[in-house]
């Protein structure tokens, strides 16, 4: 006999087992509750997009980081790498929707990354976007939403690091950065501050032909970090207009976050830039202070220029997204999940074949009473059935024998306490439901 082959998910992908699924479902319910309270409506963009849609946001370089291919008619398609692109595409031509438009999604995405700790090639995010408001109220709204989601899940030891792309770009412009490309390349290096060693960062700046003095200035700028008031009072010299606009936005935001009672959770941190090209105002990243190794647990920012790439509507926009898988790691570490179970409440055990028909009847009645009930599908002996009940941690067994049937009762066994009582079905159902 030849050995059967063993099949697994592709490299970097994974299945979700039932225990993890219970936790994810529970998390999703909490997140949905918060989204509803904030007035966001749930949608789901298609998972498979035209490659041109994915590139419209991030340029052809994105091809190296995603799963894309040609279908049988030569169409270039790609699996989404985030939810922002799809949701933005969905609203960009819906001329009838009144602004602001507040939408969210919770779903899966795929990236062709090197798999590593807390980073799979398929993963899920919750994602909320506000279209049509250029006000810092909208920015505060998405930050507070992220905070409320974490707190709803029991994660209280977080910190939101805030900056503004206009400020960063204004600062770089005032340092004689000629081309837009060079500014963008510099921002991509700044995004690695804190993730790579200082020497590596400096080397990367040098490879962009940035002068030593300017490198020092950028490192100084990016080291500004602290309470909003302290950081904001320290205005960088010779800022371009765009940079001053960024500072102004950061000031307004601090004001609103203060009024929302949330400023204490925020650290103004000029090293925060976000790697993705389309951000053009607020940028932020939230970290679990007890687990920074998993990376940001939510992040986002303003992308006023994106929407018009996808259709007729040119709307300012701001949003936030968080990784379900990463938040789960934090929650597991801090033991924040409630007791969740997908285990049936009761198993109807049949003593022998003569009562088998009656057992189906009892199972049916229990289920009609919304009790999760299972029964023997393998024609096993009484002993084997009870072993199965035990090994599956099912809390109650109903034991059905000839004698009980004649008396019109059933025997309800508490599997952990090893106690039994004779009850009629209604009483048994009531008893099971209570526990």
Q: Which of residues 346-365 bind a copy of itself (CB under 8 A)?
A: 357, 360-361, 364
- Tell me the window of 93-101, 167-175, 396-404, 406-414 that interacts with a copy of itself (CB under 8 A): 93-101
Q: 3-class DSSP state for residue 196?
A: strand
Cis bond before residue 100 (omega within 30° of 0): yes
134 vs 191, beta carbon nearer a copy of itself: 134
41 vs 198, beta carbon nearer a copy of itself: 41
177 vs 278, beta carbon nearer a copy of itself: 278
Q: Tell which positions 14-33 bind a copy of itself, by CB under 8 A.
A: 14-18, 21-22, 25, 32-33
Smallest gap, in angstroms, from Cβ of residue 43 to a copy of itself?
5
- 2, 10, 176, 237: residue in contact with a copy of itself (rule CB under 8 A): 10
151 sits near a copy of itself (criterion: CB under 8 A): no
Q: Tell which positions 380-399 bind a copy of itself, by CB under 8 A.
A: 388, 391-392
195 vs 357, beta carbon nearer a copy of itself: 357
Give 22: exposed, middle or buried? Use CB within 10 Å, 0-12, 13-18, 19+. Answer: middle
Tokens of 28: 């999703």
**Rounded distance between C-alpha atoms, residue 64 and residue 81, angstroms:** 12
315 sits near a copy of itself (criterion: CB under 8 A): no
CA distances from 240 to 137, 205, 216, 230, 277 (A): 25, 22, 19, 21, 20
147 sits near a copy of itself (criterion: CB under 8 A): no
The owner of tokens 């570490």 is 333
Q: Tell which positions 256-275 bind a copy of itself, by CB under 8 A.
A: 256, 259-261
Smallest gap, in angstroms, from Cβ of residue 229 to a copy of itself?
18
Q: Are residues 429 and 371 in contact, defined by beta-carbon separation less than 8 angstroms? A: yes
Q: 3-class DSSP state for residue 326?
A: helix
- 299, 373, 399, 429: residue in contact with a copy of itself (rule CB under 8 A): 373
The continuous run of DSSP H or E covering 174 comes out as: none
Eight-class DSSP state of 353: G
58 sits near a copy of itself (criterion: CB under 8 A): no
Where helices occur in 92-211 by DSSP H, the ranges are 136-152, 165-173, 180-190, 198-207
Smallest gap, in angstroms, from Cβ of residue 186 to a copy of itself?
28
43 sits near a copy of itself (criterion: CB under 8 A): yes
49 sits near a copy of itself (criterion: CB under 8 A): yes
Q: Tell which positions 174-233 bind a copy of itself, by CB under 8 A.
A: none
81 sits near a copy of itself (criterion: CB under 8 A): no
98 vs 338, beta carbon nearer a copy of itself: 98
Q: Tell which positions 123-142 bind a copy of itself, by CB under 8 A.
A: 130, 132-133, 135, 137-138, 141
Eight-class DSSP state of 314: -
In terms of residues, how long is the chain? Answer: 435
DSSP codes of every residue in 228-297: HHHHHHSPPTT--HHHHHHHHHHHHHHHHHHHTT-GGGEEEETT---SSTT--SEEEEEEETT-GGG--S
The owner of tokens 């795929």 is 110
- Tell me the window of 84-92, 164-172, 205-213, 416-424 that interacts with a copy of itself (CB under 8 A): 84-92
309 sits near a copy of itself (criterion: CB under 8 A): yes
210 vs 373, beta carbon nearer a copy of itself: 373
CA atoms within a 13 Å half-sphere pointing along the CA-CB vector of 373: 25
- Tell me the window of 39-47, 227-235, 283-291, 425-433 that interacts with a copy of itself (CB under 8 A): 39-47
């Amino acid at each position: 006999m030849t050995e059967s082959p063993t099949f697994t998910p592709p490299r970097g992908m994974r299945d979700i087992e039932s225990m993890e699924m219970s936790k994810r479902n529970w998390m999703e319910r909490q997140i949905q509750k918060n989204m509803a309270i904030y007035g966001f409506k749930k949608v789901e963009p298609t998972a498979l997009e035209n490659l041109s849609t994915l590139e419209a946001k991030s340029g052809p370089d994105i091809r190296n980081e995603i799963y894309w291919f040609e279908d049988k008619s030569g169409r270039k398609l790609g699996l989404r790498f985030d939810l922002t692109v799809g949701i933005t595409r969905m609203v960009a031509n819906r001329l009838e929707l009144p602004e602001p438009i507040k939408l969210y999604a919770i779903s899966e995405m795929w990236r062709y990354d090197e798999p590593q700790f807390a980073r799979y090639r398929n993963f899920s995010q919750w994602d909320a976007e506000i279209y049509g408001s250029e006000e810092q109220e909208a920015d505060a709204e998405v930050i507070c939403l992220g905070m409320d989601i974490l707190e709803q899940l029991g994660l209280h030891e977080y910190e939101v690091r805030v900056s503004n792309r206009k400020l960063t770009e204004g600062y770089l412009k005032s340092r004689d950065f000629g081309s837009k490309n060079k500014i963008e390349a510099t921002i991509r290096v700044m995004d690695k501050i804190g993730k790579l060693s200082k020497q590596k960062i400096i080397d990367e700046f040098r490879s962009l032909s940035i002068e030593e003095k300017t490198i020092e200035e950028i490192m100084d700028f990016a080291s500004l970090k602290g309470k909003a008031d302290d950081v904001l009072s320290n205005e960088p010299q010779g800022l371009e207009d765009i940079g001053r606009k960024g500072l102004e936005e950061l000031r307004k935001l601090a004001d609103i976050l203060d009024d929302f009672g949330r400023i204490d959770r925020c650290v103004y941190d000029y090293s925060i830039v976000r790697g993705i090209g389309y951000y053009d105002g607020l940028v932020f990243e939230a970290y679990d202070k007890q687990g920074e190794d998993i990376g940001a647990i939510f992040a986002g920012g303003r992308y006023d220029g994106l929407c018009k790439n996808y259709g007729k509507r040119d709307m300012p926009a701001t949003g936030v997204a968080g990784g379900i898988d990463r938040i789960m790691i934090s929650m597991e570490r801090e033991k924040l999940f409630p007791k969740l179970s997908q285990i049936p409440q009761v198993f109807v055990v049949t003593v022998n074949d003569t009562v088998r028909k009656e057992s189906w009847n009892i199972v049916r009645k229990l289920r009609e009473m919304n009790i999760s009930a299972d029964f023997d599908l393998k024609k096993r002996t009484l002993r084997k059935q009870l072993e199965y009940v035990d090994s599956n941690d099912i809390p109650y067994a109903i034991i059905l024998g000839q004698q009980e049937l004649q008396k019109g009762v059933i025997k309800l066994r508490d599997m952990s306490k090893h106690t039994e009582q004779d009850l009629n079905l209604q009483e048994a159902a009531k008893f099971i439901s209570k526990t």
